[in-house]
């Protein structure tokens, strides 16, 4: 008895395989489809190009871009007060630090070491979101190269970037945060409360932070 090749035997899952569309002669030889594909490729060669000759040509990302997180250096000193919020918010636990105090400095607290493991960082930007000091922000750096795992742990020497170089991102954050919370709290630079003592000295007020916010609310009404 001759074998009926129209009825597949191996594919028992698809019961209706006998109802599959029959291919025409041209479809079975594939040539028209191959030429259609080549024609499509040829047409794309004359379309506008969006690729760059990296690294000769470098991409300058817009301020909304989230590159590697960096610490803001303000007048030769890190803004960070080592509160630990960024480390707490970081989903892959990429941040570690040790806080210390200097009573001679108006900022009072600073990190003796601050490290970000860039092999863990997922560029989520949560550290930037939670930082009360605008001390850690997402930069434009996107090409990180390491030859050893230890090199991927960035310490303060690699993390600190002058605030002038981060102006675009800081301006963007000011606008972005104000859009979200502006009616409640004006995210201007002077609102970065580097220390309660410093704030009191500057604004000559003995109000607590909560009382200050209440006062701002009343003034806004």
Site residues (vs ligand SF4, CB under 6 A): 69, 80-86, 89-92, 94-95, 97, 116, 121-127, 130-131, 133, 135-136
Phi-psi region of 73 (alpha: psi -120 to 50; beta: other; left: phi over 0): beta
CA-nearest of 82, 107, 108 to 95 is 82
Of the pair 34, 93, the CB lying nearest ligand SF4 is at 93
Q: Are 100 and 84 in contact (CB under 8 A)?
A: no
- Using CA atoms in the order 152, 61, 137, 212, what is the torsion angle rounded to 10 degrees? -170
Of the pair 95, 160, the CB lying nearest ligand SF4 is at 95
Q: How far is the CB of 117 from ligand SF4 (least distance, A)?
A: 8
Distance CA 185, CA 74 (A): 22
CA 160 to chain centre: 17
Of the pair 66, 178, the CB lying nearest ligand SF4 is at 66
Phi, psi of 109 (to 5 degrees): -115, 150
Q: How far is the CB of 164 from ligand SF4 (least distance, A)?
A: 19
Q: How far is the CB of 187 from ligand SF4 (least distance, A)?
A: 14
Of the pair 85, 160, the CB lying nearest ligand SF4 is at 85
Query: H-helix or E-strand containing 34?
Result: helix 31-44
Of the pair 8, 92, the CB lying nearest ligand SF4 is at 92
Of the pair 37, 132, the CB lying nearest ligand SF4 is at 132
Q: How far is the CB of 118 from ligand SF4 (least distance, A)?
A: 8
Q: How far is the CB of 48 from ligand SF4 (least distance, A)?
A: 33
Q: How far is the CB of 191 from ligand SF4 (least distance, A)?
A: 14
Q: Are 112 and 106 in contact (CB under 8 A)?
A: no
What is the per-residue burial (b if ≥16 Cβ within 10 Å, else e) of 20-36? eeeeeeeeeeeeeeeee
Cis peptide before 55 (omega within 30 of 0): yes
């Amino acid at each position: 008895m001759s074998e009926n090749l129209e009825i597949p035997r191996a594919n028992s899952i698809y019961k209706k395989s006998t109802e599959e569309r029959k291919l025409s002669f041209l479809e079975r030889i594939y040539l028209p489809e191959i030429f259609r594909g080549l024609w499509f490729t040829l047409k794309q060669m004359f379309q506008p190009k969006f690729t760059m000759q990296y690294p000769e040509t470098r991409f300058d990302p817009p301020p909304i871009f989230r590159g590697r997180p960096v610490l803001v250096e303000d007048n030769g000193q890190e803004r960070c007060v080592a509160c630990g919020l960024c480390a707490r918010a970081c989903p892959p636990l990429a941040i570690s630090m040790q806080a210390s105090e200097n009573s001679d400095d108006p900022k009072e607290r600073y990190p003796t070491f601050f490290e970000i493991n860039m092999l863990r960082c997922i560029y989520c930007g949560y550290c930037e979101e939670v930082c009360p000091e605008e001390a850690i922000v997402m930069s434009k750096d996107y090409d990180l190269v390491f030859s050893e795992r230890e090199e991927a742990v960035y310490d303060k020497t690699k993390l600190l970037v002058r605030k002038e170089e981060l102006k675009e991102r800081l301006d963007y954050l000011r606008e972005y945060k104000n859009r979200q919370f502006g009616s409640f709290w004006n995210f201007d630079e002077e609102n970065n409360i580097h220390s309660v003592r410093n704030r009191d000295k500057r604004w000559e007020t003995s109000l607590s932070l909560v009382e200050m916010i209440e006062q701002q609310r009343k003034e806004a009404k």
